[in-house]
Chain A
């Protein structure tokens, strides 16, 4: 008998059943695998979602900057080159016409009007609606030449020289209003914020039947603000906060004791927002809505458990970013200063928890959120 053939036969015809635990172990392994596949799918879905949100936020910022820049450039061109907001014709007395070169010089100087396009007799051109001013009789006016010019935009009452007929009260108001369009400003800003660390634990802590209790927490931030108002109703504002404290206080039941717990994060924060003004005029004040994004760089993170502090800087990501929506009101104080107040809702978009030896990042996904009361003082540079 061939030993090898015999050996092969005896092995392959074996009727010994493997123990039941082998299949149970296989099942367990496959179950774990299936669960992991689900988790992985969800995680990759989460990553995709986060990527989408990040890209949306980036696109929003880009859009705000692009639209703002376009508006700014367009309106500046209109104001300074075409001057569509204010083109008037003023009758000039015949005496002045005799001194034509002097008129141009004196008008340019007195009104700060850079463009005096032409001086020609009114009779040579059919003017549909010449301005009506108190003074000379209509037939006199019709025989007069007139000046056509474009003014530089100025946010003040225009000095009307003696050479011209004075403007009516209505005209003064309309010109003053229209002239308050674009400019730059810079100043100081501070936020008092109701801050939240949004994760499963703090959300559960809001439920009355949970041992953990999330408590109202407040932080603050201070820094610089600068902005551009472009055109009548649109503006872009940037804020740089050198310190930005966010806190989350909560009580929890740990090892048989009810302990107080507090986490404090200090960020360097930069925000960029587009502002939409509800009114054209600076006076008596301007209401605006804002929408933008912020990004923060973590300076340090500290946890305080029953008075004992530990650093959490390694457990949290250095970057935080999110979106801002809010409302502001600015009130002028004097010619160049204004003070403002408003509120902002800030919602973080990324998971700031980096994970540690005990908990992977995805099991304790944490986001920053806050409701800020904003105070600012700004100086109008132009």
Chain B
């Protein structure tokens, strides 16, 4: 049985009653996507697993606060993102940013490469980014935060957010372009 076979309402109702079966269904339904998002922020699998675990514990403990005023996925995703930020902050390496401006990659190269590359390869390169830069990159690219919001969230300037995002993007494209495809 999957979450598709049961209404989201009854799953939510079960989770609010701490019904383990409902909790598992909810987890199984969102686990892949949230794990990938955690990977994007963490840059490594062990940390991504910690983020995922902690996020879902928060989800189940706070499910009563979900008011159906947005999508359930969006609410869970927000928890995952905030948990990832907390984890990276706790590692005290979030101020680890890119200093040098990478060369502008050739558009042709990266278009060709993107067709050939998969999740694991891109994750490998994302994992090489400094944590601060990776965080900004994911907040903007993956979760759609504006630079103003990122600046406010991470207590940095808007300019820093923009420049770090651009440097991270260029660096990733360069990494991809340099791959032996």
Contacts and interface: CB of A to CB of B under 8 A. Distances in A.
A110 B31 CA distance: 105
B32 A15 contact: yes
A26 B53 contact: yes
The prevalent SS among residues of A at the interface is helix
A27 interface: yes
Interface stretch (B85-93, B111-119, B149-157): B111-119
Contacts of B23: 30
B179 interface: no
Interface residues of A, number: 25
Nearest to B61: A33
A18 B52 contact: yes
A124 interface: no
B111 A10 contact: no
Given A1-B114, A8-B141, A18-B52, A23 B122 contact: no
A26 B57 contact: yes
Interface string A1-39: 101101110111011111101110111011001100000
The prevalent SS among residues of B at the interface is helix
Contact of A11 (B24, B57, B142, B173): B142
Contacts of B48: 18
A19 B28 CA distance: 12
Nearest to B46: A19
Interface in B128-152: 141-142
Contact of B31 (A3, A6, A17, A34): A17
Nearest to B48: A18
Interface of A: 1, 3-4, 6-8, 10-12, 14-19, 21-23, 25-27, 29-30, 33-34
Interface of B: 18, 20, 23-24, 27-28, 31-33, 35-37, 39-40, 48-49, 52-53, 56-57, 60-61, 110-111, 114, 118-119, 122, 141-142, 169, 172-173
13 contacts: A1-B114, A3-B110, A7-B122, A7-B141, A11-B36, A11-B119, A14-B33, A18-B31, A22-B49, A23-B31, A26-B53, A30-B18, A33-B57
